[in-house]
Amino acid sequence: DTAVSQTPKYLVTQMGNDKSIKCEQNLGHDTMYWYKQDSKKFLKIMFSYNNKELIINETVPNRFSPKSPDKAHLNLHINSLELGDSAVYFCASRHTGVAYNEQFFGPGTRLTVL
């Protein structure tokens, strides 16, 4: 059973299009994240939700809009895609209030904007 799943795994699209990435976790965690990993492998946090409430919103263009319909799901919608949006996007989750703060990552979505 996959703990954190993302769809799609690959996404190739034209500049200016709008696309969505979906994430689901079956770990019962209360906090979920979106990260962007660029070609140099830097992992940058974008957003975080705790119990469906937005708690972290980094300096991300407002073309990116996260949505958490429930604790187990966190989606990312991107409007007017640009070349610089090409990256691997990782979803992650964790359970707060426990001794170990480890985050569980999804397999990633490789977004290529042409």
Partner 1 sequence: GQQVMQIPQYQHVQEGEDFTTYCNSSTTLSNIQWYKQRPGGHPVFLIQLVKSGEVKKQKRLTFQFGEAKKNSSLHITATQTTDVGTYFCAGPRGGSYKLIFGSGTRLLVRP
Give the binding site for partner 1 (CB under 8 A): 31, 41-45, 48, 50, 55-56, 90, 92, 96, 100-108
Q: Which lies closer to partner 1 via its Cβ, residue 66 or residue 106?
A: 106
How near is the Cβ of 41 to partner 1 at its closest, in Å?
A: 5
Cβ–Cβ under 8 Å, residues 47 and 93:
no
**DSSP-derived 3-state class of residue 58:** coil
Shortest spacing between CB 92 and partner 1, in angstroms: 8
Of 19 and 105, the one with the shorter C-beta distance to partner 1 is 105
Separation of alpha carbons 110 and 21, rounded Å: 10
Gap between the Cα atoms of 13 and 101, Å rounded: 35
* Beta-strand pair 53-57/43-50: antiparallel
Nearer to partner 1 by Cβ, of 30 and 72: the residue is: 30
Q: Which is nearer to partner 1, 4 or 81 (CB)?
A: 4
Maximum C-alpha span of the chain: 44
Cβ contact 25:3 at 8 Å: yes
